[in-house]
Amino acid sequence: MSPRRVDRAARREHILAVAVRLFAERGFSATRIEDVAAAAGIAKGSVYLYFESRDALLVGAFDRLGERSARVLRLARDPGRTAAERLEELVRGALTMLADEPDLTRVMVDLWAAGRHGGGTAPPTLDMAKVYGEYRRVIADLLRQAAAEGDARPGAGEAEAAVVVGAVEGCLVQWLMDPEVDLVALADTVVGVCLRGVLRHASPSGAQGTGDGRGSGTA
């Protein structure tokens, strides 16, 4: 009987998923490669075939989140829809992305809170300042485009973008602290509360669209 072939991509994803779960449950600093191997049901040496260190596991996990974040931002830059529509979808896409990765999101926030957000001797993770800055720039650009299209209040830009990013981050922290908070369900509310003052067609909290891709609320 020939030896069973190992699906390397599937094995790598399994190891990553187990590592992220342990990082979220125990904390990054308290989790060893041995723990990941035991929880994954493989030998310690097998983990090293895919990841050279615990830090590499963390980098691999955040790379995956970074790829999803990049897709959300690419869709926001797609000129096929109005800027107002893209802005609303950006907020919903960001919240959905984070809700889909609860363990990794918790690890990200825990590391940031502990000052382990890149630089120094900390393991390389997401550069949160860079991520926030990119989202602010895209949101500010969308607000300016929406104003040019007649869908937003003139003058809206960087300050309003910072408020939107802050609202998303605030909802994220509450969701992590309180299991009763439904992060995805808050998307319409964030759109309504944060964007109603600048977008002429922003969906009011909890409202459904009118069928043309825009909400029924007015500024």
CA 173, CA 178: separation in Å to the nearest integer? 9
Would the pTM count as exceeding 0.85?
Answer: no
* Cβ within 8 Å of residue 190, ≥6 positions away: 91, 95, 164, 167, 168, 171
What is the enclosing helix (H) or strand (E) of 119?
none
Quote the tokens at residue 21: 């779960």
The one-digit pLDDT tens for each residue of the chain (219 residues) are 444 566 888 999 999 999 999 999 998 889 999 999 999 999 999 999 999 999 999 999 888 888 999 999 999 998 889 999 999 999 999 999 999 999 998 988 888 777 654 444 445 556 788 889 999 999 999 999 999 999 988 998 999 999 999 999 999 999 988 989 999 888 888 888 888 778 876 554 444 443 333 333 333
- Break the chain into its structural domains and give their ranges: 1-52, 57-195
Amino acid at 45: G
Domain 1-52: which CATH number of 1.10.10.60, 3.50.50.60, 3.90.550.10, 3.40.630.10:
1.10.10.60
User: Rounded CA gap, 64 and 58, in Å?
Assistant: 10
Multiple choice CATH, 57-195, 1.10.375.10, 1.10.357.10, 3.30.420.40, 1.10.10.10: 1.10.357.10
